[in-house]
């Protein structure tokens, strides 16, 4: 069983993904609260989502689900009543998870609660204080330098009360209960590449895969970073054992080359599938070893789970200047980069769906291909020679111990060609699929 149609780049919903990023961009998200719910409702306009609410205080391994944070408004005003920092202009201006505050403060006290980037004086940084009660504002450094009054009125109209952590999943059942996981974090406010790009690619990937005949079941998770994956793993420990391959998608919309971070396992099928697709994509790319730093793969790859979950990015987090600042905006994300990331994900998942293992039914010396019409389309063309090479590699290595990906790697032929050749050998009754 395999996906019926080849996905060509022309079919990639580049503009639709970009439009979803743009629609989600203004929402003030955090690890909990209405911003996450509104985000999930918007994603739910494209795919079927099951939304889950996990109450504050729920023990999730070594953590507790925090109180729910919501915010209506926030500003710093001078004593003439003019807003000099305004949450309504950009939600990055408030320290995410700020406790409510409403009072007059001296300039010195205010400065202790302000965050800016002196080396990028016209960008606003993104800062959070999830697990330590604090309040604060983030602003361009050049704007901070203009705050010369003796005192200011500070207002943060937020609430931090018992509520829920919200996440959503799109489950697509396949022939097998074995699952492929795709994870995107949904906790950042107005930041486009980190991670509305990942959200958009994951959502449209789910929409695409919903149309496939599926060997695997799929689980797309849209949840806050760290606490979201921890909560899911703690409340779905049994389901987690079904995950056979997984990808975290983060920062997949910037113009940089694709970067893949291997799972903790290192040479799992997902690692090898992504690396094969990147190598045969013809574009610049980078492969990095696993490290316990990064996105939600940290939780899936913690030693108590050690699931084969890698992370696909473009420029890695922290390595582009716009990262976690107001400059990670709708100009940083490009439809063509989203499209390229999407196409690579589709290629990876199609590969895994079709990575079957066969036995050669004529293993004693080479079978006569010409007699079976397998030379018919070959002639002297280079395509024909490649196909012939694929036939010979498949027939030689199909001893039940090598998958088509093993054969593609060993022969350095593209997986799609190896798969096409295998299908012809099956049709000619020279190969037989086996369970592995
Ligand atoms: Zn981030």
How close is the Cα of 191 to the center of ligand 1, in Å? Answer: 8
How close is the Cα of 408 to the center of ligand 1, in Å? Answer: 36
Q: Tens digits of per-residue pLDDT, 122-136?
A: 999 999 999 999 999
What pLDDT sits at residue 9?
52
DSSP state, 320? S
Cα four-point dihedral sign 401, 300, 193, 52: positive
How close is the Cα of 225 to the center of ligand 1, in Å? Answer: 8
Residue 6: pLDDT band with limits 50, 70, 90: very low
Answer whether residue 4 shows pLDDT above 50.
no
| 54-69: average pLDDT | 98
**CA 224, 228, 233 angle in degrees (round to 5)?**
155
How close is the Cα of 324 to the center of ligand 1, in Å? Answer: 6
How close is the Cα of 188 to the center of ligand 1, in Å? Answer: 7
Answer whether residue 7 shows pLDDT above 70.
no
Q: Which CATH class is domain 73-161?
A: alpha beta
Residue closest to 329 by CA, chosen among 85, 126, 25, 23: 25
How close is the Cα of 130 to the center of ligand 1, in Å? Answer: 13
How close is the Cα of 127 to the center of ligand 1, in Å? Answer: 10
How close is the Cα of 313 to the center of ligand 1, in Å? Answer: 12
Answer whether residue 329 shows pLDDT above 50.
yes
How close is the Cα of 195 to the center of ligand 1, in Å? Answer: 7
How close is the Cα of 111 to the center of ligand 1, in Å? Answer: 25
How close is the Cα of 370 to the center of ligand 1, in Å? Answer: 57
Question: What span, in angstroms and rounded, lies between the C-alpha atoms of 85 and 152?
Answer: 11
6-66+165-354 in CATH: which number? 3.40.630.10
DSSP per-residue codes, 190-246: S-IIIIIIHHHHHHHHHHHHTTS--SSEEEEEEE-TTHHHHHHHHH-HHHHTTEEEE
What pLDDT sits at residue 376?
60
Answer whether residue 377 shows pLDDT above 90.
no
Residue 3: pLDDT band with limits 50, 70, 90: very low
What pLDDT sits at residue 378?
57
How close is the Cα of 294 to the center of ligand 1, in Å? Answer: 9
Q: Please check whether the two domains, 73-161 and 357-434, share a CATH topology.
A: no
Q: What is the CA radius of gyration of the chain?
A: 25
Question: What span, in angstroms and rounded, lies between the C-alpha atoms of 265 and 423?
Answer: 31
Residue 77: pLDDT band with limits 50, 70, 90: very high
Answer whether residue 146 shows pLDDT above 70.
yes
**Is the Cβ–Cβ distance between 7 and 208 less than 8 Å?**
yes
Sequence spans of domains, the chain: 6-66+165-354, 73-161, 357-434
Q: Which CATH class is domain 357-434?
A: mainly alpha
How close is the Cα of 185 to the center of ligand 1, in Å? Answer: 9
Answer whether residue 342 shows pLDDT above 50.
yes
How close is the Cα of 51 to the center of ligand 1, in Å? Answer: 22
For the entire predicted model, the pTM comes to: 0.96
- Buried b vs exposed e over 265-290: b needs ≥16 C-beta within 10 Å? beebbbbbbbbbbbebeeeebeeeeb
What pLDDT sits at residue 10?
58
For the ranges 9-18, 265-274, 396-405, which has the lowest average pLDDT? 9-18
DSSP state, 94? B
How close is the Cα of 126 to the center of ligand 1, in Å? Answer: 9
Q: Tens digits of per-residue pLDDT, 291-304?
A: 999 999 999 999 99
């Amino acid at each position: 069983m395999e996906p019926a149609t080849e996905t060509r780049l022309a079919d990639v919903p580049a503009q639709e993904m970009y439009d979803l990023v743009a629609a989600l961009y203004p929402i003030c998200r955090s690890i909990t609260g209405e911003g996450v719910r509104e985000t999930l409702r918007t994603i739910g306009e494209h795919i079927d989502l099951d939304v889950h609410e996990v109450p504050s205080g729920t023990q999730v391994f070594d953590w507790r689900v925090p109180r729910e944070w919501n915010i209506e408004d926030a500003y710093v005003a001078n004593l003439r009543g003019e807003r000099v920092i305004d949450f309504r202009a950009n939600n990055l201006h408030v320290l995410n998870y700020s406790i409510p505050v409403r009072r007059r403060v001296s300039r010195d006290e205010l400065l202790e609660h302000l965050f800016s980037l002196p080396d990028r004086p016209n960008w606003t940084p993104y800062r959070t204080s999830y697990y330590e009660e604090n309040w604060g504002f983030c602003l361009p450094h050049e704007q901070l330098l203009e705050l010369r009054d003796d005192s200011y009125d500070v207002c943060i109209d937020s609430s931090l009360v018992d509520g829920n952590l919200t996440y959503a999943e799109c489950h697509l059942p396949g022939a097998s209960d074995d699952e492929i996981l795709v994870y995107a974090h949904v906790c950042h406010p107005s930041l486009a590449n980190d991670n509305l790009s990942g959200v958009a690619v994951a959502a449209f990937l789910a929409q695409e895969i919903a149309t496939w005949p599926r060997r695997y079941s799929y689980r797309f998770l849209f949840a806050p970073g760290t606490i979201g994956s921890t909560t899911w793993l703690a409340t779905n420990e049994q389901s987690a054992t079904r995950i056979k391959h997984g990808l975290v998608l983060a920062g997949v919309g910037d113009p940089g080359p694709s970067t893949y971070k291997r799972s903790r396992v290192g040479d799992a099928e997902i690692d090898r599938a992504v690396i094969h697709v990147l190598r045969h994509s013809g574009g610049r790319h980078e492969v990095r070893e696993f490290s316990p730093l990064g996105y939600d793969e940290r939780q899936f790859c913690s030693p108590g789970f050690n699931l084969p979950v890698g992370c696909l990015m473009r420029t890695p987090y922290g390595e582009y200047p716009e990262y976690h600042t107001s400059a990670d905006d709708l100009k940083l994300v490009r439809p063509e980069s989203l499209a390229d990331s999407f196409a690579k994900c589709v290629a990876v998942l199609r590969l895994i769906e079709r990575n079957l293992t066969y036995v050669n039914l004529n293993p004693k010396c080479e079978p006569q291909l010409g007699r079976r019409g397998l030379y018919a389309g070959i002639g002297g063309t280079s395509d024909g020679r490649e196909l012939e090479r694929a036939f010979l590699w498949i027939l030689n290595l199909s001893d039940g111990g090598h998958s088509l990906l093993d054969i593609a790697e060993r022969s350095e032929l593209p997986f799609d060609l190896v798969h096409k050749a295998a299908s012809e050998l099956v049709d000619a009754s020279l190969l037989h699929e086996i369970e592995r």
